[in-house]
Structure 1
Amino acid sequence: MALNQELQAVTEAFSGHGVDEKSLVTLLGKWDHQERETFRKNTPPFFTEDHERNFQRWDDHSVRLLKHEFVRFKNAVVPWTMHPWERDARLVKEALKKGPNAYGVLIEIACTRSSEELLGARKAYHSLFDHSIEEDVASHIHGIERKLLVALVSAYRYEGSKVKDDTAKSEAKTISNAIKNAQKKPIIEDDEAIRIFATRSKLHLQAIYKHYKEISGKNLDEDLSDLRFKQTVQCLCTPQIYFSKVLDGALKIDVHKNTKKDLTRVVVTRADIDMKEIKAEYQNLYGVSLTQKIEETAKGNYKDFLLTLVARKG
């Protein structure tokens, strides 16, 4: 391989989700001093030329990003080996530390887990942090979304098959009225709307979702302008669409490092649950298979591990 091709290969190994360790070992390991200097001079995204002192130094931002990419494989393997309760408890704790941009993870865990799984996460949180999820959500979150989030993480929903269709139809009208009155009172401050989405079974909420479309002609989440309520509805009523959209956002090339983490979280937490359905929905929404998209975007051991999980018969 010519040096120019090798330079391009190493640059690509550094760029993306994860790092192509095999290429780095093969190429960097054999380069002499002159070849490494040529690499530094020809990769301005990674190195800055100090003309006064006549040397090339790593760009600090690139170093920080690269550190994240090197640990991405570890950050997939470790959660995969955890008990699901502990994994969810730690995800909640991390989301609370990160602040409002991560509060969607709280909704995801509260709304896409079964009642027993959410109860298990709450038990694990007690064990790990000597607090309850409910009290930490209530004490860390101070915006108008607090009431909704506390209600969601406190839920223990009925999971049987019985749905009272008349009640679902009536509550669909209640939600429709709350959306229409959103300028006077945001839906996230509407006690009835919060009660419905924090307590009703998922089958009941899916019936509400169906009746809402009959009333308004649009899907419920399409009519919601409030991000937290939109995420809540999607996680409860159309989880495979929700997860497909999260994956697509995470698989874009130039996204923030925290958004890239969404890829690991979704694949690890859904591999044994509904990955087959998520893959089908992803293909339907974006016209490309999730496997192909990961192949094109991810690197090295991290990519191989993700593809192994995605191929499971969850």
Structure 2
Amino acid sequence: MASRGTVKASANFNANQDAEALYKAMKGLGTDEDVILQLLTSRSNAQRQQIKSAYKTLHGKDLINDLKGELGGKFETVIVALMTPPITYDVTLLRNAIKGAGTDEKVLVEILASRKAQQIKDIVAAYREDYDDNLEEDIAGDTSGHFKRLLIILLQASRQQGIQEGTIESDAQALFKAGEEKFGTDEQQFVTILGNRSAEHLRKVFDAYMKLTGYEMEESIQRETSGGLRDLLLAVVKCARSVPAYFAETLYYAMKGAGTDDQTLIRVMVSRSEVDMLDIKREFRRMFPNSLHSMIMGDTSGDYRNTLLLLCGGDDA
């Protein structure tokens, strides 16, 4: 399958040359930030890992440490994120979300609702490898109730495959009975059905649910649930409909209103740059009055902005 990313591997790639260019950009007085951001956004993550190895071989120094020493602020954060292998990046984000002060539910929701089954399995294995801890146990110890239950189900990465024609109607009925039809909500039904069915199956269930109740699934979740569980159920439903649309919305709300949620902006721009950023941009244009490019222009500044704009890959207004 062709990548729908804005960042592609460089065709005539030479890791040693790139390592030298970066070394030169940081050597002596002042740093040539432009060289750094132009170079790193025009290489794939796999190529950046080769540059990092070449840098160590040529100079006996750690490229990421040198970059951290030369750069600062949000620009440093986005560059270090670009230098991190994707699974390691997700694992580090999850670890910080659980082990920091309080739990960053937003990170747990975003990663576990949007990643493919194999990525989740790789994340669980890498987490054990990197921290000698069990991700499931760490998440279970840090969350509670139905929110915890659904996170644990998503961590199993064992959704049913394909569409189960025989259970589309009964799933829609069960969701209706669990929410709109009863006084109070049977959250467990939402958790079980939305956590275990395939995206294709769920899209059929949402259509059946709409016919049955006159409501979009999202509307019922908004009304029937609250807090972290509501956020997670909504993310699961939106990702079942369209992962790029889910991320377009996530980016929009990271920049809309007073103050920018730079952590979310960086996380999504970096982690989707080689996956589906072209589709995210298209969905963004369809859903909102501005293009992603123009919102980044208006909401960020300096080298940080220039890096994000390169990850965005040009304007499509």
Inter-CA distance 96–105: structure 2 relative to 1 (3 Å threshold): same
- Measured after TM superposition, the shift of residue 141 of structure 1 is 1.2
- Measured after TM superposition, the shift of residue 297 of structure 1 is 1.3
For residue 255 of structure 1, the aligned residue among 255, 259, 263 is 259
Aligned to 2:10: none
Please, what TM-score do these two structures have when normalized by structure 2? 0.68
State whether structure 2 residue 112 is matched by structure 1 residue 115: no
Inter-CA distance 195–143: structure 2 relative to 1 (3 Å threshold): closer
- Measured after TM superposition, the shift of residue 126 of structure 1 is 0.7
Inter-CA distance 251–182: structure 2 relative to 1 (3 Å threshold): farther
Aligned to 1:243: 247
Matches for 1:112-261 after TM superposition, within 5 Å? 112-158=114-160, 162-180=162-180, 183-187=183-187, 190=188, 192-225=189-222, 226=225, 227=230, 228-252=232-256, 254-255=258-259, 259-261=261-263
Q: Give distance in 1, aligned partners of 2:179 and 2:243.
A: 22
- Measured after TM superposition, the shift of residue 158 of structure 1 is 4.8
Q: Give distance in 1, aligned partners of 2:100 and 2:175.
A: 31
Q: Give distance in 2, aligned partners of 1:244 and 1:199.
A: 25
Inter-CA distance 239–216: structure 2 relative to 1 (3 Å threshold): farther
Task: State the one-letter code of the partner of 1:220.
Answer: M
Preserved contact between residue 107 and residue 152 of structure 1 (Cα < 8 Å): no
Aligned to 1:8: none
| Larger CA deviation: 223-232 vs 100-109 | 100-109
State whether structure 2 residue 271 is matched by structure 1 residue 296: no
Matches for 1:70-89 after TM superposition, within 5 Å? 70-89=72-91
Preserved contact between residue 168 and residue 207 of structure 1 (Cα < 8 Å): yes
- Measured after TM superposition, the shift of residue 245 of structure 1 is 2.0
- Measured after TM superposition, the shift of residue 261 of structure 1 is 1.0
- Structure 2 unaligned regions, length at least 5: 1-29, 31-70
Give aligned-pair identity as a percent.
26
Inter-CA distance 183–90: structure 2 relative to 1 (3 Å threshold): farther
Q: Give distance in 2, aligned partners of 1:247 and 1:185.
A: 31
Inter-CA distance 177–99: structure 2 relative to 1 (3 Å threshold): farther
- Measured after TM superposition, the shift of residue 111 of structure 1 is 2.1
Inter-CA distance 253–71: structure 2 relative to 1 (3 Å threshold): farther
State whether structure 2 residue 302 is matched by structure 1 residue 305: no
Q: Give distance in 2, aligned partners of 1:168 and 1:93.
A: 37
Preserved contact between residue 112 and residue 239 of structure 1 (Cα < 8 Å): yes
Aligned to 1:97: 99
* Structure of greater Rg: 1
The count of aligned residue pairs is: 238
Please, what TM-score do these two structures have when normalized by structure 1? 0.69
Q: Give distance in 2, aligned partners of 1:239 and 1:250.
A: 16
Q: Give distance in 1, aligned partners of 2:212 and 2:312.
A: 38
- Structure 1 unaligned regions, length at least 5: 1-24, 26-68
| Structure 2 counterpart SS, 1:235 | helix
| Structure 2 counterpart SS, 1:156 | coil
Q: What is the CA RMSD across the aligned residues, in angstroms?
A: 2.4
Q: Give distance in 2, aligned partners of 1:182 and 1:76.
A: 47
Aligned to 1:49: none
Q: Give distance in 2, aligned partners of 1:101 and 1:255.
A: 21
Preserved contact between residue 180 and residue 220 of structure 2 (Cα < 8 Å): no
| Larger CA deviation: 164-173 vs 97-106 | 97-106
- Measured after TM superposition, the shift of residue 134 of structure 1 is 0.7
- Measured after TM superposition, the shift of residue 100 of structure 1 is 6.7
- Measured after TM superposition, the shift of residue 138 of structure 1 is 0.7
- Measured after TM superposition, the shift of residue 238 of structure 1 is 3.2
Aligned to 1:276: 278
Q: Give distance in 2, aligned partners of 1:158 and 1:89.
A: 25
After superposition, give the CA deviation of every residue in 1:171-228 in whole Å (9 maximum; x if it has no partner). 12211221225643352xx1x3322222222211222122222222222112212223
